[in-house]
Amino acid sequence: MLLGVPIMGIISAEKTGHTNMANRADMFSLFGRMMDDALLQIDHQSVIINANHGAVRLLGEHLMGASLTQRLIYSELMEDLERCVASNEITEFAAIPSNNEYHHIQGKIMPFGNESLLVLLMDMTLQHNLEKMRRDFVANVSHELRSPLTSLIGFVETLQNSPDIEQNMLERFLKIMEEESRRMSRLIDDLMSLSRVEVDEHIAPTGKVFIRTLLTSVIASLNNRAIKTGHVINLDDKRVHISEEPIVRGEVDEITEVFHNLIDNALKYSYSKSIITVEMSDTTSGQIIIDIINRGDGIEERHIPRLTERFYRVDKGRSRQMGGTGLGLAIVKHIVNKHRGQLIITSQLKEVTKFRVMIPYFHTLLSGLRGGDDPA
């Protein structure tokens, strides 16, 4: 029972055709309070007679007496109202609230007694944005795959039509074909990584990761590349309890991927023959800080918030030339989030660029102890 009116009473009165205006107001209030979506009662001229909290949330205050045509960007509202009254059937429509043009609404209108109509408005913004993200993602992946594929097909055709091709030309073509195939393979690997980490981002990691050992082995794995470009990669431990091995709760493969991507980027985007520093230190709140510091052209401030978006690159040509997929930092961000950590990027043009990763120490997650204490 609500407002002193039994639910069954309202419904049976409606069925037998004895509903009066008071009953309809009770019904509106009853259903309006039950739903999160916006529910409005309007007259045939679209003037709002009743509105629930969901409607106020979606369309703003002072709805009573206002015209729904003013509150929605929906040019065919009056025609649809007439059609709905004439047919006595539910009419569906799509609209945008006048007070927030970034929202998307799906609506339904149905007659409510002889003089009014019920309007249900569902906020579809999230679904709309997810759908747009999905479409953009598919378009981006197709675009990224198309250029190496087009190049490969072109070379295959050229080779098919040139039986007497010179050896050095053949070798040059094969080298480019190999690079393009590897580019596609890297893209697929990164896409798989991204989708894996996105799926289980909400599952807290369970393993123990010995960070200093892990960083030493990532640096060793990239050392050959560093030597080719004249880079030196230094590991610097500035933690308070330097004699203890720092341990975080995490997945070894994923944390390895984070630092592999970040140090790899430092090699790609820093001045050749410069020093890359990987520096460990502690926060006072039980986290280890790992800074990847390099000197290079740097990143303009306006790009920084977007760097972790999939396929976002400051200089597309440079990234391609370096063999980048544009997915590395998106993967890093998801893994760091999964480990309850933080990623902070700072850069001064032509100076130092720093990618800072902060991850809680293993024992602080277990007992809330300060960082640096014995994790056992």
CA angle 150, 153, 159 (to 5 degrees): 140
d(CA 5, CA 342) in angstroms, rounded, equals 54
What is the helix (H) or strand (E) element at residue 111, kind and residue range? Answer: strand 105-112
Nearest to 269 by CA among 181, 358, 355: 355
Rg (CA), the chain: 31
48: β partners = 42
Question: Of the candidates 254, 325, 336, 341, which one interacts with ligand ADP according to CB under 6 A?
Answer: 325
The yes or no reply on residue 80 touching ligand ADP (CB under 6 A) is no
d(CA 225, CA 60) in angstroms, rounded, equals 58
The yes or no reply on residue 193 touching ligand ADP (CB under 6 A) is no
The yes or no reply on residue 294 touching ligand ADP (CB under 6 A) is yes
| Residues in CB range of 267: below 8 A, 6 or more apart | 222, 225, 226, 229, 231, 276, 294
The yes or no reply on residue 266 touching ligand ADP (CB under 6 A) is yes
Backbone phi, psi, residue 264, to 5°: -60, -45
Report in angstroms how near the CB of residue 305 gets to ligand ADP at its nearest.
Answer: 12
Nearer to ligand ADP, 28 or 355 (CB): 355
Nearer to ligand ADP, 14 or 315 (CB): 315
The yes or no reply on residue 319 touching ligand ADP (CB under 6 A) is yes
Q: With contacts defined by CB under 6 A, name the span among 25-33, 205-213, 327-335, 361-369 that binds ligand ADP.
A: 327-335
d(CA 1, CA 218) in angstroms, rounded, equals 67
Using Cβ positions, the residue closest to ligand ADP within the complex turns out to be 324
301: β partners = none
Question: Which whole-number Å values give the CA distances from 87 to 2, 43, 81, 82, 124, in the listed order?
Answer: 32, 16, 10, 9, 27
Q: With contacts defined by CB under 6 A, name the span among 134-142, 143-151, 230-238, 318-326 that binds ligand ADP.
A: 318-326
Nearer to ligand ADP, 68 or 197 (CB): 197
Cα atoms in the Cβ-side hemisphere of radius 13 Å centred on 336: 24
Nearer to ligand ADP, 252 or 304 (CB): 304
Q: With contacts defined by CB under 6 A, name the span among 7-15, 123-131, 175-183, 264-272 that binds ligand ADP.
A: 264-272
The yes or no reply on residue 313 touching ligand ADP (CB under 6 A) is yes
Report in angstroms how near the CB of residue 276 gets to ligand ADP at its nearest.
Answer: 9
Report in angstroms how near the CB of residue 288 gets to ligand ADP at its nearest.
Answer: 20
Backbone phi, psi, residue 239, to 5°: -75, 160
Question: Of the candidates 111, 328, 341, 360, which one interacts with ligand ADP according to CB under 6 A?
Answer: 328
What is the helix (H) or strand (E) element at residue 151, kind and residue range? Answer: helix 125-160
The yes or no reply on residue 145 touching ligand ADP (CB under 6 A) is no
Question: Of the candidates 193, 265, 287, 364, which one interacts with ligand ADP according to CB under 6 A?
Answer: 265
Report in angstroms how near the CB of residue 72 gets to ligand ADP at its nearest.
Answer: 40
The yes or no reply on residue 256 touching ligand ADP (CB under 6 A) is no
Q: Which residues bind ligand ADP (CB under 6 A)?
A: 261, 265-266, 269, 294, 296, 299, 307, 313-315, 319, 324-329, 353
